[in-house]
Structure 1
Amino acid sequence: MADSVTDRFLRYVVIDTQSDARSPTQPSTEKQKNLGRLLAEELLAIGVTDAHLDEHGYVYGTIPATTSKNNVPVICFTAHMDTAPDFSGTGVKPQVMKNYQGGDIQLVGDRSQVIRVSEHPVLKDLVGHDIVTSDGTTLLGADDKAGIAEIMSAAEFLINNPDIKHGAIHILFTTDEEIGRGVDKVDLKKLGADFGYTMDGETAGTIEDETFSADAVEIAIKGVAMHPGFAYGKMENAIRIAGAIIDRLPKDQAPETTRGRDGFIHPTGISGVMEKANLSFIVRDFNEEGLKTKEALLEKITNDVMAGYPGSTYTFTVKEQYRNMKVVLDRHPEIVEYAVEAIRRAGMEPVRGSIRGGTDGSRLSFMGLPCPNIFAGGHAFHSPLEFVSSQDMEKAVKTIVELARLWEERA
């Protein structure tokens, strides 16, 4: 099973599926459909007869039930096809280090890129594993092609072993998760599931039922343009205004200075000329109150800066991205409890955690499809240091199979 899931993963990561937040289309990049077409073809080949790619780039498919019980809930397993815009996903050259024996891993394509044990202590638990990395010039794409490979391998295993009793299982592969639009066009009626699981987590054995709540903030500044030779007492440079706002952000509320349950205010983009400038932020916190407090602080900083530029104006726009899925999942505790038991049956000690981020499951939960997050085994996401263990991907496949079995047993 490990060879199968790894072979699939290596096949998928070389397909460039980077999403683009600047694009208004769904999917945001047409190249995401290249992977979608391949996945639909592979699903058909293993016996998922209704597998198809829709116009939005989503892949749907159904593993038919093998049980005679008619009260087994319909499960959905989902993962996203796109990779993050944060680092290049073009020309991925995956490297497999067989039987890793410990120590730092220097990447072959860029010798300055080193996966250090001091920074990634999970490597101490992966001695003897087969570790897949990029060559250091791109990200790897384990987020979330590891999840895709695991779902595909589990689907093939279940279809080839009809003696394993389970209810109907639906498969959903999404686009544009990395830019917050992953489920914008999902047809939940067509999907037809009672609840789901995203395979989009990190360390083996982890089940996550809580995410950040998340908003995006856009600040548009209109300054006062003037020829620099005649600007004395008149010019109000929008670039300087934007810089002053960034400079006043609290240093102890940044991603690089927070951890655990601390939220943050994170500038993600800045552009401008003398006349106008635009600032983009993401704001994160585990509860709604904390989110609003941070947004109020950001607007106060903006107001205070703008007070020194009486001829300039600004707009402050907040857009909801997703909310903490724990609010929904706490109403359905058995969904997480069964995942915990499945992880245990797959040979691991389960660890319940919270995500300092979000998944498609955050949005799906509030759309009516409760959906916690299960590990996929990857680490150092969105960076050239990304890596994943073949053996951990195998454990994720086993977890999916055990979950399918559990829901049938307890129906």
Structure 2
Amino acid sequence: MNDKNRFSIESLGASQYTSPLQLSTVKGDHIFSFVSESDRLVFDPSIQYYNQCLNDGEAPICMEKAGPRQNIFFDAKNTTAAIVTCGGLCPGINNVIRGLVMALHYFYGIKKIIGIPYGYEGLNPEKGHDFVELTPDKVKDIHQFGGTFLGSSRGEQDVSVMVDTLENNRVDMLFAIGGDGTLKGVNAIGEEIAKRNGKISVVGIPKTIDNDIDLIDESFGFQTAFDVASPILRDAHNEATGAYNGISIIKLMGRDSGFIAASAALAMPVVNFVLIPEMDFSLEGEEGFLKVLEKRLQEKKHAVIVVAEGAGQQLFKDRKMVKDASGNVQHEDIGVFLKEKIIEYFKEKRPVTIKYIDPSYIVRCAPANSSDSVYCSGLAYHAVHGAMAGKTKFVASRINNRYVYLPVDEVTKKRKKIDLEGEFWFSVLQSTGQPFFLG
């Protein structure tokens, strides 16, 4: 049975104001048209799903199309917007901040835009972080730099205190740029506002360098991440081939999902092994990683290994469960562990030269590339359009290459992971030549 309301977006109320955007309502006049509240896009475009709906006599599950509405909820001249960035750094954050400010100011004429410093900490007065006034002139060049203009932090804050701060500063809409934890915070803030019968729109813009936000095509900054990582793999390959039995190990980010490691290996096809969190592998045994690596060295005299930070955690004995401020399990260093195990294994077998490279923080602090820059602007604009229409507790995102609005609680139910039976992972195996199973 289809859940027709699965992707319904909550609203603060009826839209009583006319949008200041001079758009069209007529097809064929060569002017972009407003998006109707009834405009929907099918979630699953497969023929199998189409036939299933046809046979069951049910309407397909649809998503709300993103874009500017003809009637809006907020009176722009009396509206205050706030922007906050949370969690780890990622290419493109500044592009999104800039896009939000430009859209709020130039599209809708909103004059008061507040920057919340250092993540959700900035909404806790006890932390002593002063708000930043955001204007087009202040943010016009920030897209050229990585990091976040507003600063970031990890960890929870008291939801009631944060909503008090929003109300005390008469904030009408909050845009939160962040990953899984940040988006769950958006939902919690939205629920607290609803309990108070408040009229504050809270909007999430999905950000995670690991590309592990569920449902959406990809998160911003991800393409830049493996783009920046690619030349590092090229240079690591040069190091490996420059020595007899040379081995390069490159650790890339990917706590629970290996998308960066896998995509970088495809983009720079000089990699021989990709180890990701989604796969179980053993070091020992005839089919284990070390034996397969030994065969590789016998044949080619060099090897390039890319490992995601969350891979191989099952190999650590007596591992203690420790979490960071965001509630994420802190992983053991698989890169250093692999290096030590390889040295130990080959000590009595053959001489090897190992180079270990961890460019993680260089990758995540890079400025967005052209593709991500375009994507970031699109996400920012659509987030503003949705907020102005009075929508709340939603994320602006892209699914099936179309911009849509999704409820926050739908994208935070689970993490997106690489399907080991899917075409993407098979492409990685074809490129590297590694076996389907290691161990």
Tell whether the structures are fold-level matches, with TM greater than 0.5. Answer: no
Which TM-score tier does this pair reach, normalised by the shorter chain?
Answer: under 0.3
Larger Rg: 2
